[in-house]
């Protein structure tokens, strides 16, 4: 028996790979149908869709760039007229790491756009429909960098800190409508995003002595969507092996 037998839909941005894909499959296993956004990795997205369908759930592929308000609106509005997701997971992300004196304006703008401006774009589209249902969950995937700041990631740290502030503000706006908004803040998680990082220097900083798995992030998202999390809103849940406490 799935955790959620009333056919709830979850929209996840950037779910063709990495943490987003793990969240999608984990939630499908818990009984959710998935609206799966990605930008360009069509083959990866098809593979995730097959995994979701193997769980007996449906997967609607929604390829669009989360920074493109017109594309997001054109793809989502016709679906939202038919069905309103129970939850939205803002997960799509990129890094353009470099020290600030070397950072190009395009590297600053790209990171702010994908993380923070997409929260505005998708948040506005979805929250208008979710308000009328008077229940729902919104999760932002933040980052340890947004909590403590990270050298070489001024753009990324700013975007993630902004997301944490935006999530808390939205939690206050939507609480009376029974829509809970929380941030999940991973530390180092085994995805393509960390392949260029100096892990030998970073592992000693992690009390658990290892990077985290995508499943360990997905499990927290699954909990935050469950009935057991019905009194949790406006929080930042860190999943970082103790790297920051
Ligand atoms: P990956 O690089 O593995 O995957 C990124 C995903 O985001 C892909 O599905 C990609 O789609 C999608 N994406 C990127 N840009 C866009 C866009 N403009 N529009 C739509 N989709 C887009 O990243 P992770 O899984 O590692 O990261 C997921 C989230 O977790 C991010 O928000 C990241 O900042 C955060 N995070 C990750 C950590 C880590 O250690 N890995 C630590 C802390 C936070 P496509 O394949 O089509 O390009």
| CATH number of the domain encompassing residue 190 | 3.40.50.720
Give the C-alpha distances (Å, rounded to integers) separating 44 from 16, 35, 173, 228.
5, 15, 36, 32
> Ligand 1 pocket test: which of 12, 13, 19 has the largest number of ligand atoms within 8 Å of its C-beta?
19
Among protein residues, the one with the nearest Cα to ligand 1's atom 17 is 65
1 in a structural domain: no
Beta bridge partners of 116: none
Q: Give the residue among 89, 22, 33, 85 at the shortest CA–CA distance from 58.
A: 33
| Angle at alpha carbon of residue 61, lines to 118 and 43, rounded to 5° | 105
Between β-strands 33-38 and 9-12, what pairing exists: parallel, antiparallel or unpaired? parallel
Q: Which atom of ligand 1 is nearest to the CA of 212?
A: 40
Residue 244 lies in a domain: no
Domain contains 3: no
Q: Is residue 245 situated within a structural domain?
A: no
Is the CB of residue 167 less than 8 Å from the CB of residue 194? no
- Is 2 part of any domain? no
- Residue 215's Cβ-side half-sphere holds a number of Cα atoms within 13 Å equal to 1
Residue among 118, 91, 123 nearest 27 (CA)? 91
Q: State residue 63 phi and psi, 5-degree precision.
A: -80, 110
Alpha carbon of 185 to ligand 1 centroid (Å): 13
CA-CA distance, 38 to 14, in Å (whole number)? 5
Asked, for residue 39, whether it belongs to a domain, the answer is yes
Atom number, ligand 1, closest to the C-alpha of residue 114: 18
pTM: 0.97
Using CB distances shorter than 6 Å, the residues near ligand 1 are 13-20, 37-41, 44, 65-67, 91-94, 114, 141, 143, 186, 188-189, 191-194
Give me the tens of pLDDT residue by residue for the chain, a chain 245 residues long.
345 445 599 999 999 999 999 999 999 999 999 999 999 999 999 999 999 999 999 999 999 999 999 999 999 999 999 999 999 999 999 999 999 999 999 999 999 999 999 999 999 999 999 999 999 999 999 999 999 999 999 999 999 999 999 999 999 999 999 999 999 999 999 998 888 888 899 899 999 999 999 999 999 999 999 999 999 999 999 999 999 99
Domains: count for the chain: 1
Q: Annotated catalytic sites, by residue?
A: 156
> Which atom of ligand 1 lies closest to the CA of 41?
47
Which residues touch 109 (CB under 8 Å, ≥6 apart)? none
- Kindly state the DSSP code that residue 153 receives in the 8-state scheme: -
Residue 4 belongs to a domain: no
Domain that holds residue 59: 9-239
């Amino acid at each position: 028996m799935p955790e959620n037998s009333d056919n709830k839909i979850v929209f996840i941005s950037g779910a063709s790979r990495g943490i987003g894909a793990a969240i999608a499959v984990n939630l499908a296993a818990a009984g959710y149908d998935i609206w799966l956004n990605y930008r360009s990795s069509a083959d990866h997205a098809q593979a995730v869709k097959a995994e979701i369908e193997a769980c007996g759930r449906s997967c609607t592929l929604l390829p669009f760039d989360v920074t493109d308000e017109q594309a997001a609106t054109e793809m989502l509005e016709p679906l939202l007229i038919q069905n309103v997701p129970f939850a939205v997971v803002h997960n799509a992300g990129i890094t353009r790491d470099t020290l600030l004196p070397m950072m190009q304006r395009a590297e600053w703008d790209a990171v702010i756009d994908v993380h923070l401006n997409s929260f505005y774009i998708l948040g506005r589209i979805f929250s208008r429909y979710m308000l009328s249902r008077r229940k729902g969950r919104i999760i932002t995937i933040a980052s340890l960098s947004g909590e403590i700041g990270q050298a070489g990631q001024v753009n990324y740290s700013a975007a993630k800190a902004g997301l944490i502030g935006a999530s808390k503000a939205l939690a206050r706006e939507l609480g009376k409508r029974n829509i809970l908004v929380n941030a999940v803040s991973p530390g180092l998680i085994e995805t393509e995003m960390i392949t260029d990082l100096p892990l030998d220097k970073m592992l000693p900083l992690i009390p658990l002595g290892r990077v985290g798995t995508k499943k360990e992030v997905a499990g927290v998202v699954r909990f935050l969507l469950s009935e057991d999390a019905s009194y949790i809103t406006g929080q930042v849940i860190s999943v970082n092996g103790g790297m920051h406490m």
